[in-house]
Amino acid sequence: MTLPDVFLNRPIAHRALHDTAMGRAENSTKSIAAAIAAGYGIEIDLQLSSDGVPMVFHDYDLGRLTGASGPVAQRTAAELGAIPLLHDGGGIPTLAQVLDLVAGQVPLLIEFKDQDGQMGPNVGPLGAAAAEILRGYAGLFAVMSFNPHAVDELQRLLPGTPRGIVTGSFVATNWPTLPTHVRDHLRGIPDYDRTGSCFISHRQSDLDAAPVVALKSAGAAILCWTVKSAEVEARARKIADNITFEGYLA
């Protein structure tokens, strides 16, 4: 299994083409529509509602992106859909709503947020709930997660779907809740083969790390996150096959 060329030959809008100055929040239907109009690929994030519906939302808590507070996982899909996104006005969309909007027009890169809290095996029902919906989608999509256990589960749930691991330097300041041994393990990207991955999405500032270089030499596709300027894009593309970007037009 390889990552289709469409994921490599057009930039991927991080959390869709969001721009609060233009009234488009992260992962909103407005940002998704803007990315489609511009012809970009789209990266989205999944969290699970209290009633088991995959929602397109990055954070675990509502506070940063809405006027509400508390965990996403403690609200129903209907409740989440009724909460206006800041600088946007639209509600939090479900995965099914986003798929209906995209309808195969551009590729989707779907990140499953860690549900264990420690990058462990307790990944919960998010994967199964999303896979049930994705099996009926005719457009091109790939799946990924920081948690290799989630990627391994997706290997079973969606065996024909391109999948990858989101990776980085895992420094303690950025991951204060992860134990040292977990950060050390993830930094080496040792789960690539066992999860049947065909790509990684790596932190753009750490692309020269030895595990990344080794995987690229072995034929892995290398994506990166999150590029925020043309200057950083030019530097990242010396190693990465494609970029995930925000804050400018790649």
Distance CA 200, CA 29 (A): 26
In a domain, 224, yes or no: yes
In a domain, 250, yes or no: no
Q: Could you give the residue ranges of the DSSP H alpha helices within the chain?
A: 29-38, 77-81, 95-102, 126-134, 148-157, 180-187, 210-217, 230-236
Task: Give the pLDDT mean for 165-189.
Answer: 97
pTM of this structure? 0.98
Confidence band, pLDDT 50/70/90 cuts, at residue 249: very high
Number of domains in the chain: 1
- pLDDT, one tens digit per residue, over 15-31 is 999 999 999 999 999 99
Domain coverage including residue 96: 5-245
Which residues are CB-contacts of 230 (< 8 A; sequence separation ≥ 6)?
A: 248, 250
pLDDT at 230: 98
In a domain, 35, yes or no: yes
CATH number at residue 101: 3.20.20.190
pLDDT at 148: 98
pLDDT at 38: 98
Residue 48 near residue 115, CB atoms below 8 Å:
yes
Distance CA 60, CA 186 (A): 21
- pLDDT, one tens digit per residue, over 78-121 is 999 999 999 999 999 999 999 999 999 999 999 999 999 999 99
Confidence band, pLDDT 50/70/90 cuts, at residue 66: very high
Average pLDDT, the chain: 98
Distance CA 118, CA 139 (A): 32
